[in-house]
Structure 1
Amino acid sequence: MKRIKLLGITLLTAAISFSCSSDDDDDITTEVDLNAIAIKADAHVQTSTLPQPILDYVSTNYPDLTIRKAEIEDSDTYEITLSDETELIFDMQGNFLGVDDDDVDDFGDEHLDPSELPQNIQDFIAQYFPGVGIDEAERENNGNYEVELDNDTELIFNANGEFLGRGEDEDDSYDDDDEEDINPADLPQVILDYIAENYPDQNIIEAEKEDDGYEVTLNNGVELEFDLDGAFVSAEDKNGDDDDDDNDDD
């Protein structure tokens, strides 16, 4: 009799242990590495390195606007975002192809309303980035989804909506975290005077304020650096020719 009772207790204990083990298995969730890095389909490029025909086209056709962002798309085209959010598409030689209309999938990448993202992507963002809105969403030519949040975080998901990592350019030397696009008219007057005197035939096609000064790109591809007081620091053209002497940069 004692043996029967002991056997019964043993079986009950085993059943409880199996039950608990099953519950634990049900509670196991896949860990997500939010610091994982995924290479973006599109690569940022410096405005000063763009083909001259692109700089000429923007300067001629949009003289009152500046370039806010330049990218090489995975379709081997340049996408240029202007200060009024107009997106221009050029081929790799700098020939103008057209204006990218966000409502029409005419140049490969498909702009999406956040509500059009797969539900598992929306759920992922709601869970891991609560309270952060979606600023921009795209479906790339390679099938991946790229999502930019309101806090400038970029997330990459595959075609099934599975998280791949935070977006990063293939060229990890590109970093615009310390750059703020500004209207050229808001540059210190000393900088505007310097450009008017030394580059009278050129226009400002991009202006940025950085942690340690200002960076100004002219429509001939010359990139000028100034310190926070507006004093000239250096000049570099798109071919990489440096000029640190403000008396010889003409």
Structure 2
Amino acid sequence: MKRIILGTSLFSVFAFATVSCSNDDDTNSFHLIELNNLPTEAQKFVDRYFSGVEIEKIEKHSPAKVDGTMYEVDFINRDEVDFDQNGTWLKVEAEGNRPIPTGFILPSIVFYVKTNYPSLEINQIEKKYDGFEVELTNDLDLVFNSNGEFIRVKL
């Protein structure tokens, strides 16, 4: 009897896990779109800060990812920009230890990095609910509040 109950329990757990996994795939779908199908603000951002960099693909997520990403632009050089549904950037990152453009980053953040880490550049920035996380070209992570004031080094 114990074997039957144990067997039934294990089957139930396996079946539940299988169904749960298949549902996750359905809720995180995306399709490829063209640049002109991005929100205007995202199109302007790509044109201004990534002019001349060839786009590999643009994904539109439906629904948005947990972090709010609705659009993901991947470039041939392995840079990536994530946008929300309105076309506001959420995350910008470069592959490896290359710097990203900084014209869209709060001047106080750029100034802090140039002053305190003059031999390094910003490799990635991500908006968080309470500020920004910045990664430098040596993989050091810095945390700033929403006003661009330095908070701490992220460990």
Please report the TM-score for the alignment, with normalisation by the length of structure 1.
0.28
Q: For CA contacts below 8 A with separation 6 or more, give which structure has more relative contact order.
A: 1
Q: What TM-score do you get using the length of structure 2 for normalisation?
A: 0.42
